[in-house]
Chains A and B, each alone.
Chain A
């Protein structure tokens, strides 16, 4: 039963690696050398399972395990990243050139269809029949859903179509249920790569690349400290390794200066902990690039605080653009009914009791910006600007340039010429900053205050809610 041997081979490898760590895969592989001999001795015309689907979170070692198995067992394989395949033709091209050389791939027509691929594959495989199972590995397979709808079902049973010993391995971060087409398809074999657990695997794996001039025990304790800080926000092995490498020199600093010994774990922890906390706020979020971070460590000047990316949130805008943006914000977050009240000097009396309808009392900030027509924007703009503004072409072109700067966004596509609609896509803080530097007239401030006072309470609640949600998300 070749199929089973082959499959269980892979399976055990995968499962083993999973349980221990991806780095021990090399050890396992060397232990498997004997088995490979057995496998090659088995009759090659026995077919393996047509398709395998492997899923798990980012950086759980999916592609690493699969590719290192392929490499170490010297299996014929074609590895394709689906992000790169902007058309299915590229995918076919890569597969064919990996199996049969670039000459075969060159035979593909200009815009190859699936049947072209199958025909060519058949032709080629009949010339050079498979001695071993061929593997097609498709990384980031979730991108396949956006390609031709028939591609995925066809690839799942490619073995039948080309009549060759070929297995398609799909790697994805998404579960199989999200892939299954409406019309149904061949069910692949599913494998799950679970997340690394904190205690066992992460520490083991991270300790693997310890510094040669320090003992592995020291590095392991460093990793423990690091995980204590970062584990709550990040489980991405790749990120963690990155962070570990970046901050290790800082950790070793007291040792090099001779202020502490390797056994003074507590002292070392006290030294590194605030540093790591800062790293979480800057380097981890890419507010500060890793090179800058290192440089800062080398300079050893804590006083020179790096200017983080989000610190320069201020944008210099032309005078009228600022007012246009303010008008857009007001139009987006105030109900149109209240315009009369806010922007007319002689508005009628308004009954206090049900000035705002019940559904309007829930914050407009929670509901997000609402689209508004150009007319309304201009009307509010004229009432907000303190001087008379001629409706010049440059005022209108500023609106479109605000759209390209993505401070406004255009909504809907049907009636672009006659009555385009926009949304304001900047935050309250941004608008407040702008109006603070524009406001020579008190009236505008009043207006903003009036329209915002209704919402300010809810904004506060909403902020705390947001932080709570983001915390939840991280956990």
Chain B
């Protein structure tokens, strides 16, 4: 770039020069984003936040890779098989079919990009260098589609070796055909066999002639113009002998979309195989497990925030990426708005920074609601110390932080145990997914809810083998976490006792039978019968066999675990440090309602402008408001068609009402051109905002595009 900006132009015009110095001044250092005048450790918080975000990112990528591994591998296998094996076919018809993989990705279109990126990388690394991916937006016509394919392929060839660069530069647009691609492919494959003999050997079976397939990925199959697709497939099928094409259709809806889009004459040229990627709900569940139900990850979300984020996912977009974005946003918001979030990090680090808390932050801790609650439970003497002695607060703070970490460490394994116990119950009283259970646990005392009661009821009638299996699962979970050893011990003890019960229970049931056999039949009296039946019933409940006794013990044990470990997070002192809880802000930011805010601005200008003179009662129209607001409020009173002249009259009335009451009525009817112009401008702004539009139904009328009045 030259220092002096160019001002020579074909047409006349004015040029704006922005001073470069201003830009430089505004540039802030990396740590400077969260720094306020009032607080000193903004950079620390920023660092922690960034570190956390990096772990989130790497974790999500790892999860994505793990989940997609199976389907991507099978795709690569499919391509290898078709790229190499088909040359042996002597059936001409079969060879003309283009192998096609229909990759089902689900409707969460924004998430597809990541999958395709990893697919491209995988294919280029392990199968073929010739991978092209096309987007429907770029390919409105066959010509553009072919051009895109050629550009990507030949461009890649250039990057492989330098000499070819002049050849491709000569390539003109008129030669933008598949036959040109054919020529290029021949030369490239010839070259590559010379240049990388060792590489090609590894890729091909020794008998078959070398043929690296050309993979074309249609990223969003549904959005493609069907005519374009048909033509492209027809053209490609002419060249399958020389150019081994393989297509991958990224399909968001269902495989039948192919049949809707392509006629039989075209789809008969394809040899379609369907591949399913994991559903997005499973994906979300694994992200949830890794990021939220994990004691290693210090940043936590409150129940409301989780509900907002999951709600957006389930109700609106099914996009895991958006969910992670929401998590990122809440993280940023938390670290920005909560100065104490500097303690929201790994245990050692947190303890260290708790030791060196500044005076201001100690004061902030004292004001935390959870800390205040904690103080209230202490002895009076201790209370005084906590409120006056800073050093003591720091010590207590360290203790509380340790407790908080311990709480988290115990919380998640027990949560998983409870989930594994209840997830197999009929009708899922505590939710199908672990996230539902988690939300209800951190929100309130779980054991006070009806759902928990009904779940325990159901657990109490479990059969022995079911119970043992469920307990085994719990033991597995606890074993893998390596904490809560005493709980594990007890569990295993229970399992052992349940299994040892084998012989005893059968004996007992026979004893029961004898008792009932002894009952003699008496005169049938309805009342008597009822009584005896009730007696029988009560006897049965009274006389529990050893299994039932043991079972109720087990349930008691589980219940005590829940009461001990699954207490709501809000009751933990210092939970504000880790928990982000302002769901309102999150909803406002992530689930925006542009229309509502426009309407709010127009009907209550005070809300945004914060000008005292704009404060009005509901229902009245103040003349001090901006013209647009007046016009908007007036139009709410009209029907579907608005007479412009009446509207203008009303507008003028409002305008003049404030100006002067004393002017005589003659002048009231008249209006000057300035007001007229203001009215016209306001009306055209209304049209721009989409509230009205011009209509041909009636002269001098405009049509309303919204419903409702004031």
User: A-side interface residues toward B, CB under 8 Å?
Assistant: 58, 81, 83-84, 86-87, 89-90, 93, 108, 110-112, 238-239, 241-242, 245, 285-286, 289-292, 307, 309-310, 312-321, 375, 390-395, 398, 401, 404-407, 415, 417-419
Q: B545: CB under 8 A from chain A?
A: no
Interface: B252 (CB within 8 A) = yes
Residue pair A404, B109 in contact (C-beta under 8 Å): yes
Q: Complex: how many Å from CA A401 to CA B110?
A: 11
B258 at the interface (CB under 8 A from A): yes
CA distance A407 to B595 in the complex (A): 25
Q: Judging by beta carbons under 8 Å apart, are B259 and A310 in contact? A: yes
- B254 touching A286, Cβ below 8 Å: no
Question: Contact at A312–B256, with CB atoms within 8 Å?
Answer: yes
Partner of A86, one of B146, B254, B316: B146
Known: A58-B265, A83-B235, A407-B253. A320 touches B316 (CB 8 A): yes
B235 touches A318 (CB 8 A): no
Bound complex: CA A112 to CA B267 (Å): 34
Given A290-B94, A312-B256, A316-B280: A89 and B174 within 8 A (CB)?
Answer: yes
Residues of chain B in range 458-491 having any CB-CB distance to chain A below 8 Å: none
**Considering only CB atoms, which chain A residue lies closest to B92 in the complex?**
A241
Residues of A within 8 A of B256 (CB): 309-310, 312-313
The answer to whether A418 and B693 touch across the interface, beta carbons within 8 angstroms, is: yes
- B65 on interface, CB distance cutoff 8 Å: no
Confirm or deny: B142 has a beta carbon within 8 angstroms of a beta carbon on chain A. Answer: yes
State which of A239, A318, A405, A417 has its C-beta within 8 Å of the C-beta of B314.
A318
Residues of B close to A245: CB separation below 8 A: 91, 93-94
Contact code string B336-352 (vs A, CB < 8 Å = 1, else 0): 00000000000000000
- Which of the residues A84, A89, A93 comes within 8 Å of B178, measured between beta carbons? A84
The answer to whether B315 touches A320 (Cβ under 8 A) is yes
Q: Whose C-beta in chain A lies nearest to the C-beta of B260?
A: A406
A58 to B175, CA, bound (A): 29
Q: Is the CB of A405 within 8 A of B107?
A: yes
One of B94, B97, B231, B255 near A309 (C-beta < 8 A): B255
CA A286 – CA B271 in complex, angstroms?
A: 8
Contact with A along B579-614 (1 / 0, CB 8 A): 000000000000111111000000000000000000
Given the interface pairs A84-B238, A90-B174, the reply to whether A292 lies near B273 with Cβ below 8 Å is yes
Contact of A242 with B591 in the complex, beta carbons under 8 Å? no
Q: Are B272 and A309 neighbours in the complex by a CB distance under 8 Å?
A: yes
Residue of A with least CB distance to B78: A291
Q: Does B690 contact A (CB under 8 A)?
A: yes
Binary CB contact string for chain B from 236 to 274 against chain A (1 if under 8 A, 0 otherwise):
001000000000000011111111100011011011111
In the bound complex, CA of A401 to CA of B222 (Å) = 11
**Docked-complex contact B280 and A83, CB < 8 angstroms:** no
- Select which of A286, A316, A317, A406 is within 8 A of B268 by beta carbon: A286
> Across the interface, do A238 and B93 meet the contact criterion of CB distance under 8 Å?
yes
Contact with A along B199-241 (1 / 0, CB 8 A): 0000000000000000000001011000000010011001000
| Mask: chain B, 599-638; 1 = CB below 8 Å from A; 0 = not | 0000000000000000000000000000000000000000
- The answer to whether B271 and A418 have CB atoms under 8 Å apart is no
A415 vs B187: C-alpha distance when bound (angstroms): 52
B residues less than 8 Å from A86 (CB atoms)? 141-143, 146
Interchain CB contact under 8 A, A406 and B257? yes
Q: Does B439 contact A (CB under 8 A)?
A: no
Whether, in the assembled complex, B83 has its beta carbon less than 8 Å from a beta carbon of chain A, the answer is no
Give every chain B residue within 8 A of A395 (Cβ-Cβ).
Answer: 316
CA A406 to CA B223, docked complex, whole Å = 7
Establish whether residues B271 and A289, one from each chain, have CB atoms under 8 Å apart when the complex forms: yes
**A316–B173 touching, CB < 8 Å:** no
Q: Are B253 and A315 in contact (CB under 8 A)?
A: yes
Report chain A residues within 8 Å CB of B591. 390, 392-394
Instruction: Give the shortest distance, in Å, between A89 (CB) and chain B (any CB).
Output: 5
B173 touches A239 (CB 8 A): no
**If the complex has contacts A312-B274, A394-B312, A398-B316, are A418 and B690 also in contact, measured as CB distance less than 8 A?**
yes
In the docked arrangement, what's the CA distance between A238 and B268, Å? 10
